[in-house]
Amino acid sequence: MQYRTLGHTGVQVSSLALGAMNFGAIGRTTQAEATAIVDAALDAGINLIDTADMYSDGESEEMVGKAIAGRRDDIVLATKATMPMGDERNHRGSSRRWLVTALDDSLRRLGVDHVDLYQMHRWDPTTSDEETLSALTDLQRAGKIRYFGSSTFPAHRIVQAQWAAREHHLGRYVTEQPSYSVLQRGIESHVLPVTEQYGLGVLVWSPLASGWLSGAVRAGREITTSRSTFMPQRFDLTVPANRARLDAVEQLAQVADDAGLTMIQLALGFVTAHPAVTSALIGPRTLDHLHAQLAAADTVLSADVLDAIDAVVAPGTDLAADEKFDTPPALLDPALRRR
């Protein structure tokens, strides 16, 4: 396992990190299975575990808490807030009112007195940066969080938050967690240059592109990944973007074969090769999935292999741009651009 410094924090984290979204109802992973996955991940050298309050309505945090009991101090523990937790309109977002409550709820579910990294799951356009950063700074000073970061923020919002922290003398985001894979490379053109400029640690999610790069998706085969039932629209081959992805996967499979690698090794080796990336979040649903992904822990792609990948999917290109979660609200809601 490789280790890297998380931004400018001085904290050393593994180049592969364990994402716990599949723990609980979403991945139909039981507590015993989740604990076995955590045990195997820690034994392999992974030291960062990432979850969120909204994963299976808090069940993921509860499972992580039980799985790490007795060894909390050896783990860099990260969770997230801002996504809706129920129907109550104020049980979401990045307001001080909600974050104070949401963090206490997460700490209770995790069974800990603090988290190492508390991340804003999405940018909240209804809340000012000053409001959010002020609340996070106070929670940090209270000892409930060590650091805080953002997740899936557009590049301009990352910059705005950095400036707001400086202007109001508040703590700043020290990490960003964007989606990044061989098939979704858009952040190379805007987000990653910004994170490098501000010295942010980068924890990338969906490096296997929701299963497209797992090796299970190939032309002429029935698509049987768990995400194909959870998010069927992402695998509907009548959609042009999905046909483009399948074509790219076939070409990438040849690149992997020529290099003597599995598709998973190619995919994870690709994202961890970028100098701006600190860790790739893997989200195994089973022990077999975990072991297949751990095989990429020390994968280093040669320049020739990276060039071959660039020839299949050009740098800075998203093959499924409509699946991005950083689109400005005015592009999604006509009312916001036609007032």
Q: Report, as residue numbers or ranges, the catalytic residues.
A: 55
Closest CA to 79 of 44, 46, 125, 117: 117
Please identify which residue in the block is written with the tokens 């988290």.
Answer: 115
Q: Sign (positive/negative) of CA torsion 108, 111, 115, 118?
A: negative
Q: Name the CA dihedral angle for 158, 162, 164, 168, rounded to a multiple of 10 degrees.
A: 160
The C-alpha angle 293, 326, 151, rounded to 5 degrees, equals: 55
State how far the Cα of 195 lies from the Cα of 206, in Å rounded to an integer: 18
DSSP 23-78: BBTTTTB-HHHHHHHHHHHHHTT--EEE--TTGGGGHHHHHHHHHTTT-GGGSEEE
State how far the Cα of 234 lies from the Cα of 210, in Å rounded to an integer: 8
State how far the Cα of 254 lies from the Cα of 58, in Å rounded to an integer: 41
